[in-house]
Amino acid sequence: MSFNKIVIFGIGLIGGSLALSLKEAKAVQHVVGFGRSQANLNLALKLGVIDEIGLDLASALNNADLVFLATPVAQTPQILKSIIPYLQEKTIITDAGSTKSDILNYVEQAASTSHESLQLLTQFVGGHPIAGAEKTGVEAASPSLFKNKNVILTPSQQSAEHATSTVKKLWEITGAKVTQMDTDTHDKIFAAVSHLPHLLAFALVDELASRSNAQQLFQFAASGFRDFTRIAGSSPEMWRDISLANNQALLDEISAFEKELAQLKLFLQKQDAKALQTLFERASLARNQWEKSREQ
Amino acid sequence: MSFNKIVIFGIGLIGGSLALSLKEAKAVQHVVGFGRSQANLNLALKLGVIDEIGLDLASALNNADLVFLATPVAQTPQILKSIIPYLQEKTIITDAGSTKSDILNYVEQAASTSHESLQLLTQFVGGHPIAGAEKTGVEAASPSLFKNKNVILTPSQQSAEHATSTVKKLWEITGAKVTQMDTDTHDKIFAAVSHLPHLLAFALVDELASRSNAQQLFQFAASGFRDFTRIAGSSPEMWRDISLANNQALLDEISAFEKELAQLKLFLQKQDAKALQTLFERASLARNQWEKSREQ
């Protein structure tokens, strides 16, 4: 499979890496990049990540096979609105947002604005590449970023079959493992394994930083603290948006965690050595089995 | 400063690395090693980490300058009891336990058994090298393990001044940064920056592993989850002992964290974008400043 023209909104780590990966596989002829920072777009052009800086939506979208939305999620409604007038029937749209129900809502809202824009629903297939949260910017883009990484697609009831299969092939070219599920399942899974850990890390660091002896505490924090809190260094804006977009699932996760923590606290209060060890053993076993399964 | 003879209980990562570091600095003539595993002691001897496998406490402790306790903390009372009859006045005792009030209690208990054993209190200086929790065993021992790492000494009111200064010099030879504080301050600091994070990581993994869709959840867990939960792979026995040894400080930390989490939950329930972003910004700033300060 080869694409004649792909239009990418947001030429950062994710958008840039997709472009590079497709180029390396000779699976795309021409990549047009849009973005808020002219300097970043110039750099992307210079690095050969994109072939053209998008200036005009009409000409960029003319004959485009695919539009890839890789901007911060909050920009999605505005971008959808702006591209609808120029969207051709053949053009498939996908994205890279960390939450999927809210994106589908944006698409449904954009699609409901006119009879003509209804096609947006059939042409859109949500996606979430699970890769590279730590580095940002086009300089960090790599053709191998998605190799052996999970990419989850969340086609809706309205998504056309050929749209889903095209987006699937797109990601398979990059070496990713593609899985499909509905947006609700996606958002619940990521509330548990990603969003909750981020919020716990933010909460821990914020709580410690607010104390009068914060400096002393941080002075003696070591490698365990470093790894545990690494994700607390993430973008506040992005996590504000995720917290709002995946609000209910995240609240459910916090409640489940609070229950577990209350139980652990009870074991501590009772100084129940056996119950503590059993809990730690279950967790340690699960964690080490998971690590092992990843290495295979 | 140079030691003629040092006796080390527990020739693992910590005990082995101290021996290697002192040997590299030519600061010790003779290292005697005790441990539960004969195979490990044989390996330590073969690797040149120790010069002699301890067989008999009387001869090992004869003329020893220093005893270093680097076994799991639970073995400390038994070791103290066993060495008291052979302990000479010149011999200084220190340890490497992660909690310090409980170790001092063990020393006080051991010292109270007879008039002669009272000297134990003056000869003992508690210590905690903040290094290397991830690898274990003498194979992982390295002469540079403690270089630029923090070592905290917790001399008691009874500790002799020359005992404290000797243990300080011992660690300075390894390249460590030595700080002194009382056992209570130590235990509160580590409840916050080490023990609480470990318990939160154990709790998260245990909670997820208990679900019917655990396999699916773990399948999509990625690098953020990996780092956040790395410490949940730690030794259950060690963390059971720490949970009991530092029980009250840890309960206080859990309560403080629960309050912070309740606040975060409230912001989520109210979908308060501004409050969420402010909290994430404070945490992210503190975390990134800490990371930067470590690199300097």
Residues facing A126 on adjacent strands:
A154
Q: Which of residues 161-190 of B touch A (CB under 8 A)?
A: 179, 189-190
Cβ-based neighbours of B68, under 8 Å, separated by 6 or more: B6, B7, B8, B9, B15, B18, B94, B95, B96
Residues facing A153 on adjacent strands:
A127, A180
Residue-wise pLDDT tens digits, A21-76: 999 999 999 999 999 999 999 999 999 999 999 999 999 999 999 999 999 888 99
In chain A, % of residues over pLDDT 70? 99
Tell me how far CA of residue A115 lies from CA of A79, A87, B151, in angstroms: 19, 13, 70
Name the amino acid, one letter, at A30.
H
Q: How far is B58 from chain A (nearest CA, A)?
A: 35
Q: Which of residues 24-83 of A touch B (CB under 8 A)?
A: none
Q: Find, among B210, B259, B197, the residue nearest to A260 by Cα.
A: B210
Q: Find, among A123, A72, A68, the residue nearest to A98 by Cα.
A: A72
- Give contacts of A230 with chain B, Cβ < 8 Å: 224, 227-228, 287
Instruction: Compute the distance between CA of residue A294 and CA of residue A128 in angstroms, rounded to an integer.
Output: 19
B-interface mutation test, from A205, A270, A271, most B Cβ less than 10 A away: A205
- Residue A204 and residue B200 in contact, taking contact as beta carbons nearer than 8 Å: yes
For β-strands A124-129 and A150-154, DSSP reports them as: antiparallel
A207–chain B Cβ distance below 8 A for any pair:
yes
Q: How far is B147 from chain A (nearest CA, A)?
A: 14
For residue B183, count other CB atoms closer than 10 A to its CB: 20
Give yes or no for residue B26 having a pLDDT over 80. Answer: yes
Of B206, B237, B283, the CB nearest to A209: B283
**What is the per-residue pLDDT for B62?**
97
Query: Is the Cβ pair A273, B244 closer than 8 Å?
Result: yes
Q: Find, among B282, B143, B237, the residue nearest to A274 by Cα.
A: B237
**Mean pLDDT over each residue of chain B, to the nearest integer:** 95
Of A189, A268, A284, the CB nearest to B251: A268
Query: Is the Cβ pair B236, A273 closer than 8 Å?
Result: no
Cβ-based neighbours of A123, under 8 Å, separated by 6 or more: A87, A89, A91, A92, A93, A160, A163
Please provide the distance, in angstroms rounded to a whole number, between the alpha carbons at the two ends of chain B. Answer: 29
Average pLDDT of the segment spanning A161-182: 98
Average pLDDT of the segment spanning A72-96: 94
- Give contacts of B259 with chain A, Cβ < 8 Å: 207
Query: Is the Cβ pair A203, B231 closer than 8 Å?
Result: no
Shortest CA distance from A265: residue in chain B: B251
> On the CB side of B165, how many CA atoms lie within 13 Å of its CA?
4
Edge to edge, what strands does the sheet with A28-34 contain?
A52-53, A28-34, A3-9, A66-69, A92-95, A124-129, A150-154, A177-180
**What is the per-residue pLDDT for B134?**
64
E strands within chain A? 3-9, 28-34, 52-53, 66-69, 92-95, 124-129, 150-154, 177-180
Q: How far is A211 from chain B (nearest CA, A)?
A: 11
Give yes or no for residue B89 having a pLDDT over 70. Answer: yes
> What angle (nearest 5°) sits at the alpha carbon of residue A203, between those of residues B208 and B233?
40
Least confident window among A32-41, B107-116, B198-207 = B107-116
- Give contacts of B131 with chain A, Cβ < 8 Å: 222
**What is the per-residue pLDDT for B76?**
93
Residue B265: its H or E element: helix B247-269
Query: Is the Cβ pair A202, B279 closer than 8 Å?
Result: yes
- Residue B191 and residue B205 in contact, taking contact as beta carbons nearer than 8 Å: no
Query: Is the Cβ pair B260, A204 closer than 8 Å?
Result: yes
Average pLDDT of the segment spanning B106-111: 94
**What is the per-residue pLDDT for B133?**
59
Q: Find, among A101, A64, A103, the residue nearest to A80 by Cα.
A: A103
Question: Tokens for A111?
Answer: 């699609």
Average pLDDT of the segment spanning B126-134: 85
User: What is the dihedral angle through the alpha carbons of B281, B286, B290, B292, rounded to the nearest 10 degrees?
Assistant: 40
**Mean pLDDT over each residue of chain A, to the nearest integer:** 95
Question: Tokens for B67?
Answer: 């005893």
Shortest CA distance from A208: residue in chain B: B192
Three-class DSSP category at B32: strand
Instruction: Compute the distance between CA of residue B222 and CA of residue A198 in angstroms, rounded to an integer.
Output: 12
Question: Tokens for A89?
Answer: 């029937």
Q: How many residues does chain B have?
A: 296
Q: Find, among B92, B161, B101, the residue nearest to B123 by Cα.
A: B92
Q: Which of residues 261-290 of B touch A (CB under 8 A)?
A: 261, 264-265, 267-269, 271, 273, 276-277, 279-284, 286-288, 290
Three-class DSSP category at A4: strand
Q: How far is B192 from chain A (nearest CA, A)?
A: 7
What predicted TM-score, i.e. pTM, was given to this entire model? 0.91
**What is the per-residue pLDDT for B113?**
86
**What is the per-residue pLDDT for B254?**
98
B260–chain A Cβ distance below 8 A for any pair:
yes
Q: B175: phi > 0 → left, psi -120 to 50 → alpha, else beta; which?
A: left
Instruction: Compute the distance between CA of residue B282 and CA of residue A122 in angstroms, rounded to an integer.
Output: 42
Three-class DSSP category at A52: strand
> What angle (nearest 5°) sits at the alpha carbon of residue A201, between those of residues A141 and B204?
105
Q: How far is B126 from chain A (nearest CA, A)?
A: 17
Question: Tokens for A247?
Answer: 């609000």
For residue A56, count other CB atoms closer than 10 A to its CB: 9
Give yes or no for residue B79 having a pLDDT over 90. Answer: yes
A257–chain B Cβ distance below 8 A for any pair:
yes
Residue-wise pLDDT tens digits, A230-282: 999 999 999 999 999 999 999 999 999 999 999 999 999 999 999 999 999 99
**What is the per-residue pLDDT for B278?**
98
Cβ-based neighbours of A195, under 8 Å, separated by 6 or more: A242, A243, A246, A249, A250, A253
Instruction: Compute the distance between CA of residue B96 and CA of residue B153 in angstroms, rounded to an integer.
Output: 10
Average pLDDT of the segment spanning B96-110: 95
- Give contacts of A220 with chain B, Cβ < 8 Å: 130, 150, 152, 179, 189-190, 193
Q: How far is B8 from chain A (nearest CA, A)?
A: 25
Of A197, A222, A269, the CB nearest to B228: A197
Residue-wise pLDDT tens digits, A106-162: 999 999 987 777 789 999 999 999 987 567 789 999 999 999 999 999 999 999 999
Residues facing B68 on adjacent strands:
B8, B94
- Residue A130 and residue A151 in contact, taking contact as beta carbons nearer than 8 Å: yes
Residue-wise pLDDT tens digits, A265-274: 999 999 999 9
Give yes or no for residue B85 having a pLDDT over 80. Answer: yes
For β-strands B52-53 and B28-34, DSSP reports them as: parallel
Backbone angles phi, psi at B67, to 5 degrees: -115, 130
Instruction: Compute the distance between CA of residue B138 and CA of residue B41 in angstroms, rounded to an integer.
Output: 9
In chain B, % of residues over pLDDT 90? 92
Q: How confident is the model at residue B177 (pLDDT cuts 50, 70, 90)?
A: very high
Shortest CA distance from A254: residue in chain B: B265
Give yes or no for residue B193 having a pLDDT over 80. Answer: yes
Query: Is the Cβ pair B291, A214 closer than 8 Å?
Result: no
Tokens 């004649």, located at residue: A4
Instruction: Compute the distance between CA of residue B10 and CA of residue B14 in angstroms, rounded to an integer.
Output: 8
Query: Is the Cβ pair B217, A193 closer than 8 Å?
Result: yes
Residue-wise pLDDT tens digits, B209-266: 999 999 999 999 999 999 999 999 999 999 999 999 999 999 999 999 999 999 999 9
Average pLDDT of the segment spanning A164-177: 98
**What is the per-residue pLDDT for B137?**
85
